[in-house]
Structure 1
Amino acid sequence: MKTADLEKQLITWRRDLHQHPETGFLEMRTASIVAAVLNGLGYELQLGKAVMSAEDCMGKPDEVETKKHLDWALSNGAKNQFIDYFSQGYTGIVATMETHLPGPTIAYRFDMDALPIHETDDADHIPLQEGFRSQVPGKMHACGHDTHTAIGLGLATLIAENKQHLRGNIKLIFQPAEEGTRGAKSMAKAGVVQGVDYFIASHIGTGVPHRHFVAANNGFMATSKLDITFKGTASHAGSHPEEGKNALLAAASATLNMYAIARHSGGSSRINIGEFHAGSGRNIIANQAKLIAETRGETSAVNTYVKDQVNAIVAGAAKMYQIDYTIEVVGEGLHCGCSKELAAMMEVCAKAHPAISETVLESNDSAGSEDATYFMEEVQRNGGLATYCIFGTELAAGHHNENFDVNEESLLPAVEILYESVKRLGKEGGVK
C-alpha cells in the first residue's frame, strides 16, 4: 500500500472506531472488525477466551449488560463471521505472523476500549465538524485508543506486505479494558506473551508535544481499583435507632482513616475515594454503603502496603459498627520499569523518522497507571526486554476530557516507527 493510501486508511479506521466507542470487555464491534482485517492480511488468529483467563478478568460487565451490548454491536456493523468469539465479553485478540526465518518473537500491544464520557457537541469540535463524533450517548474515545487500534492495524498491514523482508515471529496483541487497568492481566495469565523476546507498548499524547517521542516511559504507578461495600441493618432513625447497624458511619469512618494512611519511605503513594453512596432515606439508619476507591504506589510493593492498610481499615470500621463488608478488586496494574536497551533501539528508530523533531530516551514523570505492565513484567521475568513508548501529538483537550481529540498527522509516523523496530529487531543479534 502506498504511503498516502495507508495514511488515508489509518484515518478511516480511526474515525469509524471513534464514532462507535465501546467500553471495557464490550469491544465486540471493534474486535470483530480488527479480526476481519487481520484475517484478510493472513495472520494466524487467537480470539476471545483462547487468549483471556476468565478468572483474571476484573470489573467485567454482567451478562445482562453484555447481551444488550451484543445486540447493539450486531446492529452497528460488527463482522458476523467473528462476533461469536467476542459475544460473552472476552474481546482480546492475538494475531501472529510467522516469517519462517530465524529470529526473535516480537510483541506489540494495542488497547481498544473507550470511556463512559459524553462527547462534546461544541461547534468547534473537529470530530463534530468532520462528521465522526461519537454516535453513542455517554461513551467516547477520550484517551486515543481508537488511534491505537488504527495504528495496530496499520502496523499489521506493513508487516503483511513486507513479510518476505522480515525475520522471526511478530505478535500483535489487541487488548480490551485498559481503562481501569482491567484487561491485560487476564491476557498475560492466559500466556499470550510466553516466549516473547521483545515487547513494546505505546500510547499517543499524554502531554508529550507533537513530533516528540519518548522511548521509555517509567512513570506509571502500581495501582489497585477497589469496590468496597458495607452491609448493615436498617431501622427507623427516630423510634428505634438502637436497632440499626449504620453502614454509612462505617463507610465514613473508613474514608477518613484511609486518607490518614502513613506515607511509605519506599516511594510515593496515593489513595482516593472517588465515589461514596449510602442509605435510602433521611429517617432510615443506612443499611448499605459503597465506596469506589483506588490505591497507587511508585512501586508494586508500596501499592501493596497501601492496599493492605485499606483492607485493615475497612475491616476495623466494619467491626466497630458490627456490620459486614466486602472488598472487590476490579482493576490492577504494576509499576513500570522499561528495558533501557530496547528503549535505546526505539529511540534510534524514532530519530530516523522525518516527522520526529525531538526524542527522549527515558521519562520518569508521573503518568498515572497502565496495565500493559503485566505484559512487561512477564516478558522481563522470562529474560526478555520490554518498553513503553509515547508518540507525542497535539491534543484538543487533556485525556479523559469530553473535548479530547488528537492530531491525525501523528498516526502514520507511529506506524512507520513501530515497523522500523520490527525490521531492526528481526536482524541477527537483535538488541545487545
Structure 2
Amino acid sequence: MMDDTEKSRIWQKITEYAEASASELSELRRDFHRHPEPGWMEFRTSGRIADLLHLYGCDEVLTDQQVCKAEARMGVPEGGGMTGVIGMLHCGMGPTVALRFDIDALPVRECEELDHFPAQEGFRSEHAGYMHACGHDGHITVGLGTAKLLCQMREQLHGTIKFIFQPAEEGVRGARAIVENGHLEDVDFLLAAHMYGGSEQHPCGICITAGHGLATTKLDVDFHGKASHAAAAPEQGNNALLAAATAVLNLQAIPQHGKADTRINVGKLVAGSGRNIICDAAHMELEVRGKTSEANQYMQTYAERIVKCAAEMHGCTVETHLMGTALSSSNSSELNERLEQVCAEQLNIPVWRDPEAFSNVSEDFSCMSEAVRSHGGQACYFLNVSRCSAPLHNDRFDFQEKALMNGVKAFCGVTAELLKT
C-alpha cells in the first residue's frame, strides 16, 4: 500500500511531466494532423503509433490481425486493411486497465484560410479531402503521452495497462472487431475521452458525462430490379428507383418509440442511368438511432421490414448490409467519482458534470464498455474540453493544444489511482 508521501510524488510527477511535455505533445499532434487517414486505412498512423510504443517501453505491441477480428470489421473501403494498435504494459499483479484512443480521420477538405490555425502554422492536412475534424489527432497524442509516462512509472503501479488505439470509429465500424478478438475479456476498468468545445462557464477542463450517446445502426441497402425501355416496354421492367423511393417515404413514417427517443435518416440515394430507362439498381445509405439499444433495435427491425416490402411491391430484390453499430451505455458512477476526485483534488484540473453533454451522438466505445460491464467491470467516457474554433466535423475544427496536457494528466492520474495498491 502506498503511503501519502509516495502518492504525492506520483501526482507531482504526472503534473510536471505533462507540463514539461507541452512542446513534444504539440509537435506529435501536428504530425498526425498533417497526415489524416480514414477508417481501416490508418496505415501510416498505426505504424507510427506502434514504433513509439516500442520506443517508450511497452512489453507487447499488437498490430494487424492481433488487434481486430477480420470478419467482424464493418464498412471496410476498397484498399482498407488491418489497422489499429494495442500496447501492453505489465506491472505485476493487480487489475487490468484499458485506455481507448480512436485514430481515424474524416472525409472533410480542411479549410485553407490563414485565420484557420493549422493553415496559419503550417500543419494543415496534406491528404486532400481528408482531415482530423473530430479531434482524433489529439486523442492519439494524448494516448501516446499517457503511454510514455506510465511506462516510466511502472515501478509504482500494480496491474496491467492496455493502450488501445482503435481504427474506424467514424461510422461506428471498428470497436466490435476489437471486442470480438477478446481484448476486453480481462479488463476491469475501461476509459476513453473525446475533445469537446468549451463554453463561457467551462472553457477548459474535464467534463464527466452520463455515458456515450445514442445507440445506432448504419445500413447500406441495394435494390435490384430489371431494366427496360420506359416507353416501348415499361411493363417488362422492375423499377429499383421506385422501390427505393417508396422505401424512403415509408422509412420517414416509422412511428416513434414510446419509451425512448428515436432517429432515422436516409443520407444517400443513388439510382438510374437515363430518363428513358427503367432503373435496374438503386443504392441507399441510411442510419437509425435510439436513446436505448432496445429503441434502436426497434428502428432497425422496422426499417429492414420496410425496405424488404418496398422491393417486393415493385418486383425487385433487396440486399441489406450492416456498415456500423453502437450500443447505448452509461458510465460507472464509482469510476466517475474516482476520475473527478483525481482531477480536482490531485491534479488541479477543472472538472464538472454534465449528463446531457454528448448525449445526441453515437460512439462505438459503447460496444467496448458493454463488453467490460458484462463481466462486472467498470467503464467511463469523459470529455476533454477546450476552446474550439468550430463544431466537430467542420472544416475549420481545431482545439487548444493545452487540452493535450489535461488529457495526459487525467488518463495517467486515474490509471495510477486504480493501480496504486
Equivalent residues in 2 for 1:174-253 (5 A)? 174-205=165-196, 209-253=202-246
How large is the RMSD of aligned CA atoms in angstroms?
1.5
Offset, 1:47: 1.2
Encode CA deviations 1:214-272: one digit per residue, 9 max, x unaligned.
22342511100000110101111121111111011100000000000011112000000
Partner of 1:294: 287
Offset, 1:157: 0.8
Offset, 1:393: 1.1
Matched, 1:96 2:91: no
Partner of 2:136: 145
2:189 and 2:378 in contact (8 A); partners too: yes
* Among 20, 32, 37, the residue aligned to 1:17: 32
Equivalent residues in 2 for 1:33-432 (5 A)? 33-43=48-58, 44-62=60-78, 65-66=79-80, 89-100=81-92, 102-205=93-196, 209-352=202-345, 356-360=349-353, 362-363=355-356, 366-428=359-421
Give the distance between the partners of 1:267 and 1:310, measured in 2 at CA: 17
Offset, 1:352: 3.0
2:18 and 2:409 in contact (8 A); partners too: no
Question: For residues 198 and 354 of structure 1, do their structure 2 counterparts lie closer, same or farther at Cα, with a shift above 3 Å needed?
Answer: closer
Q: Secondary structure at the match of 1:141?
A: coil
Offset, 1:366: 2.3
Q: Structure 1: which 5+ residue stretches go unaligned?
A: 67-88
Encode CA deviations 1:275-329: one digit per residue, 9 max, x unaligned.
1111001111111111110000111111000000011101100100011110101
Give the total of aligned pairs: 403
Give the distance between the partners of 2:197 and 2:18, measured in 1 at CA: 26
Give the distance between the partners of 1:354 and 1:197, measured in 2 at CA: 23
2:205 and 2:349 in contact (8 A); partners too: yes
Encode CA deviations 1:48-96: one digit per residue, 9 max, x unaligned.
111211111000122xx34xxxxxxxxxxxxxxxxxxxxxx11121111
1:355 and 1:413 in contact (8 A); partners too: no
Question: For residues 5 and 427 of structure 1, do their structure 2 counterparts lie closer, same or farther at Cα, with a shift above 3 Å needed?
Answer: closer
Question: For residues 312 and 206 of structure 1, do their structure 2 counterparts lie closer, same or farther at Cα, with a shift above 3 Å needed?
Answer: farther
2:88 and 2:161 in contact (8 A); partners too: yes
Give the distance between the partners of 1:358 and 1:97, measured in 2 at CA: 28
2:173 and 2:324 in contact (8 A); partners too: yes
Question: For residues 320 and 361 of structure 1, do their structure 2 counterparts lie closer, same or farther at Cα, with a shift above 3 Å needed?
Answer: closer
Offset, 1:423: 1.1
Give the distance between the partners of 2:197 and 2:179, measured in 1 at CA: 24
TM-score (norm 2): 0.93
Give the distance between the partners of 2:186 and 2:205, measured in 1 at CA: 32
Counterpart AA for 1:50: Q
Give identity over the alignment, percent: 40
Offset, 1:353: 5.9
Question: For residues 250 and 206 of structure 1, do their structure 2 counterparts lie closer, same or farther at Cα, with a shift above 3 Å needed?
Answer: farther
Q: Secondary structure at the match of 2:52?
A: helix
Give the distance between the partners of 1:160 and 1:363, measured in 2 at CA: 35
Offset, 1:109: 0.2
2:215 and 2:290 in contact (8 A); partners too: yes
Q: Secondary structure at the match of 1:192?
A: coil
Counterpart AA for 2:181: A
Offset, 1:355: 5.9
